[in-house]
Amino acid sequence: MSEKERTILFIDFEFTMPDRNSKKRGFYQEIIEAGVVLVENNQVVEQFSSYVKPIRFPKLTERCRSFLNISQEQVNSGIAFNDLVEKLKRLGGNRHCHVVTWGNMDMKVLSQNCQQASVEFPLPGKQIDLSMEYKRFFGDQNQTGLWKAVQEYGREGTGKHHRALDDALTTYHIYKLVEKDKQYLQKPEPATIGDMVDFSNLLNKFA
């Protein structure tokens, strides 16, 4: 399947965070906001954005509310986690759909949340951590933050940092820039002298 024909799901989640001094028993991160961009044939065909109600620890910590600028009311009005899983399954529930995230935490947390909720992981396709691709491509020693990567390209991110849909769209923009650079660096076959000189015209001149 060519790059143009491929279906790709760009995903960003925001998660719950513990308070620094908190020792909540069994705490694990839960998805509280989802941003998803579905791309087919290099075109955005659907965008999805929603807050998500956490199941195990429904009350957000002060640190989480402050860092993500998400209120308890916004999360309370969000969709159920199972509804998010169904949405992801509808958008990317086949093996031909690649899933692109910035970093590996989004898929780790989704997988853990699915296990905790006893639901099947909805995205069976190939998972691509674009931050690692970016690191390998540019030879960086350390993984680069999403918005720092955009700025290194001389661009600005889409919308606000730590808004799930904005981050998913920014990931898509970086993906396009990296793919374009990869194509640029794929050296074409060296031209032969015959390509550079039209010998038939040359011979006609001397005929």
pLDDT, tens digit, for every residue of 120-170? Answer: 999 999 999 999 888 877 766 555 667 677 666 565 555 455 689 999 999
What does the block give as tokens for 118?
Answer: 């006893």
Is 98 assigned a catalytic role? Answer: no
Stated pTM of the model: 0.81
- Which entry of 30, 40, 162, 189 is annotated as an active-site residue? 162
First CA to last CA across the chain, in angstroms? 50
- Which entry of 3, 5, 14, 62 is annotated as an active-site residue? 14
User: 98: helix, coil or strand?
Assistant: strand
Mean pLDDT of the region 8-12: 98
pLDDT, tens digit, for every residue of 26-60? Answer: 899 999 999 999 999 999 999 999 999 999 999 99
Chain centroid, CA 102 distance in Å? 5
Q: 168 and 12 in contact (C-beta within 8 Å)?
A: yes
Is 161 assigned a catalytic role? Answer: no
pLDDT(205) > 80? no
For the chain, domains (ranges, CATH) are 7-20+27-129 (3.30.420.10)
Place of tokens 């087919």: 40
DSSP assignment string, 67-83: HHT--HHHHHTSB-HHH
Number of Cα atoms under 13 Å in the Cβ half of residue 206: 4
